[in-house]
């Protein structure tokens, strides 16, 4: 691990790898051990990398204040660090979002628990740290059906890579899987005849099965038949979507490619891979799908994460509001029509929103 030391003496110079630090009792050395412990416990490489960056910033802050050993940490030190994090300004001159502050601080909390577990400190100095509430962030953009079709039509399917890109878009739109999940798909994960796709080692290292629509399955079948044999020039490990050099497509390349396609569609909305995940969930919810089925498709461990789409699927909510609220229209309210319209729209989403508000109000102090 590098880039974790930035003391006054080292500022502006090359970073010092933790493994080369001479003092095994230093806070830096113990952080390196903690990160290795996270890896050994099965945390994903992405999580370990994020924790590494967060703890690198924490260690640099400690070094600038001559805090070099675990026992020198205290609740006051942690509180001062939290105040420091709350004042960090990004390149765009905006403060860190609560979710970013939460990410930086939770790494310190978990480190404190580990220091107690290893009997390096008597108590967790971050035990009383009040983490900022992450809140609910709505997706930056969600596509309409017409906008989605415009994007799907952008790739030139007469070319091998264009047909591949169309198949990728169709899989994202149909299944709503994550970018990393699509990058790891193998040919063996597909059962096109049954219309099922296996997502292996998704977030939290959990497997799940999701349905894939007939149209997406047809495009994937065309890709497998006409394009993939041309791309699989090297030793074939069975990864489904390949780059022009025959290797698995990196997640970053997927984002770059899809961002270019979205911009080429001229819909005026930003996005790449994740916009299809948001769109799939929102359109299914507006179509009347039970939110628990959407939770299963998205691979959310907690239903609260899926409930964000009850805030996004506003069209159905507007229809119910217009049909049932006596002050929603300039015309006189008709009770019979309202009752009929209300029963024609799915109402569980309203109940979910009300339950969420009630739960939040109960959490407030009296």
Ranges of beta strands (E only) in the chain are 190-191, 196-199, 208-211
Can you tell me whether residue 248 is helix, strand or coil?
strand
Catalytic status, residue 133: no
Catalytic status, residue 117: no
Contact 231, 242 (CB under 8 A): yes
Strands 190-191 and 196-199: antiparallel
Catalytic status, residue 90: no
**Which one from 33, 274, 311, 321 is the annotated catalytic residue?**
274
**Which one from 81, 166, 309, 349 is the annotated catalytic residue?**
309
**Which one from 30, 51, 184, 300 is the annotated catalytic residue?**
300
Based on its alpha-carbon atoms, the radius of gyration of the chain, rounded to whole angstroms, reads 25
Catalytic status, residue 300: yes
Nearest to 171 by CA among 160, 182, 180, 163: 182
**Which one from 150, 203, 269, 311 is the annotated catalytic residue?**
203
Contact 192, 217 (CB under 8 A): yes
**Which one from 184, 277, 278, 349 is the annotated catalytic residue?**
277
Six token digits for residue 84: 């420091």
Can you tell me whether residue 232 is helix, strand or coil?
coil
Contact 313, 349 (CB under 8 A): yes
CA atoms within 13 Å, Cβ hemisphere of 318: 5
Contacts of 41 (CB under 8 A, 6+ apart): none
Nearest to 87 by CA among 104, 65, 74: 104
Catalytic status, residue 203: yes
**Which one from 103, 178, 179, 349 is the annotated catalytic residue?**
178
Catalytic status, residue 34: no
Q: Which active-site residues does the annotation give?
A: 178, 203, 274, 277, 300, 309
């Amino acid at each position: 691990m590098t880039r974790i030391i930035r003391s006054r003496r080292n500022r502006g110079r090359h970073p010092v790898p933790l493994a080369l630090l001479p003092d095994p009792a230093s806070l830096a050395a113990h952080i390196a051990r903690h990160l290795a412990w996270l890896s050994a416990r099965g945390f994903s490489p992405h999580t370990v990398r994020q924790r590494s960056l967060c703890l690198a910033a924490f260690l640099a802050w400690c070094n600038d204040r001559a805090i070099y050993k675990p026992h020198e940490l205290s609740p006051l030190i942690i509180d001062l660090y939290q105040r420091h994090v709350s004042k960090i300004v990004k390149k765009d001159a905006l403060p860190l979002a609560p979710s970013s502050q939460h990410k930086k601080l939770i790494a310190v909390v978990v480190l404190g628990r580990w220091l107690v577990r290893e009997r390096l400190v008597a108590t967790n100095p971050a035990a009383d740290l009040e983490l900022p509430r992450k809140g609910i962030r709505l997706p930056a953009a969600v596509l309409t059906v017409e906008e989605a079709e415009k994007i799907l039509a952008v790739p030139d399917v007469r070319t091998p890579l264009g047909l591949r890109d169309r198949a990728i878009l169709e899989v994202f739109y149909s299944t709503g899987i994550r970018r990393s999940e699509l990058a790891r798909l193998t040919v063996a994960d597909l059962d096109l005849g049954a219309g099922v796709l296996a997502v292996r080692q998704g977030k939290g290292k959990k497997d799940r099965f999701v349905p894939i629509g007939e149209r997406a399955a047809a495009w994937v079948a065309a890709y497998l038949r006409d394009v993939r044999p041309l791309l699989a020039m090297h030793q074939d490990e069975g990864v489904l979507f390949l780059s022009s050099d025959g290797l698995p497509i990196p997640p970053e390349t997927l984002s770059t490619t899809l961002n270019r396609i979205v911009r080429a569609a001229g819909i005026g909305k930003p996005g790449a891979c994740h916009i299809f995940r948001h769109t799939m969930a929102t359109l299914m919810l507006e179509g009347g799908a039970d939110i628990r089925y959407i939770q299963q498709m998205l691979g959310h461990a907690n239903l609260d994460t899926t409930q964000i789409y009850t805030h996004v699927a506003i069209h159905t909510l507007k229809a119910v509001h217009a049909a049932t609220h006596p002050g929603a229209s300039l015309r006189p309210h008709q009770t019979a029509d309202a009752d009929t319209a209300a029963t024609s729209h799915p109402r569980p989403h309203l109940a979910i929103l009300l339950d969420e508000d009630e739960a939040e109000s109960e959490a407030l102090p009296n």
